[in-house]
């Protein structure tokens, strides 16, 4: 079990065989209700791509009475701000007006369901960190 107050996990997501998104999920382990600070970048992450081709935002993900709730926060609230490699940071208003908002929500939903550490934490269980090891940020790795 991860034991620090806040434990960052780094993850990458592919789509159609290409690197499509990367994220940091900060598990706030000492809070009463499970909450994840999800800093998420969507766009091309393969070799020879540049940060201006991507956008990123910061989302609070909470486990509540009605299930998982997500809310877009100011990018400056992210522990990873400024995240130059992540691309252009989006405020709540910019994200909701963006043409990629549906893709952002799709990726965020995928992370919550597929990242075993995030899903176990949000379900109120012990954080399942099996197969994960700590990594330095922005390295090519599917684990934290």
Residue 138: band (very low, low, confident or very high) from pLDDT cuts 50, 70, 90 = very low
**Dist. CA 25–CA 8, nearest whole Å:** 5
pLDDT tens-digit series, residues 61-105: 998 888 899 999 999 999 999 999 999 999 999 999 999 999 999
**Dist. CA 72–CA 129, nearest whole Å:** 26
What are the boundaries of each domain within the chain? 6-122
Model confidence, pTM:
0.82
19-33, 42-56, 109-123: which has the minimum mean pLDDT?
19-33
Number of residues assigned to the chain = 144
Look-up of token digits 């043409």 = 99
Residue of 74, 81, 80 lying closest to 26 (CA atoms): 80
% pLDDT > 90, the chain: 58
pLDDT at 132: 55
Residues 59 and 67 sit within 8 Å (Cβ to Cβ): no
pLDDT at 1: 35
């Amino acid at each position: 079990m991860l034991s620090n107050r806040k434990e960052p996990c780094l993850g990458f997501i592919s789509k159609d065989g290409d690197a499509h998104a990367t994220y940091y999920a900060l598990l706030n382990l000492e809070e009463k209700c499970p909450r994840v600070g999800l800093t998420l970048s969507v766009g091309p992450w393969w070799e020879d791509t540049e940060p201006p081709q991507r956008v990123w935002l910061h989302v609070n993900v909470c486990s509540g009475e009605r299930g998982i709730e997500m809310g877009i926060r100011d990018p400056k609230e992210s522990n990873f701000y400024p995240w130059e490699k992540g691309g252009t940071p989006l405020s709540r208003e910019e994200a909701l007006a963006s043409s990629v908002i549906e893709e952002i929500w799709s990726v965020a939903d995928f992370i919550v369901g597929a990242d075993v550490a995030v899903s176990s934490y949000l379900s109120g269980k012990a954080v399942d960190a099996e197969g994960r090891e700590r990594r330095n940020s922005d390295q090519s790795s599917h684990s934290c």
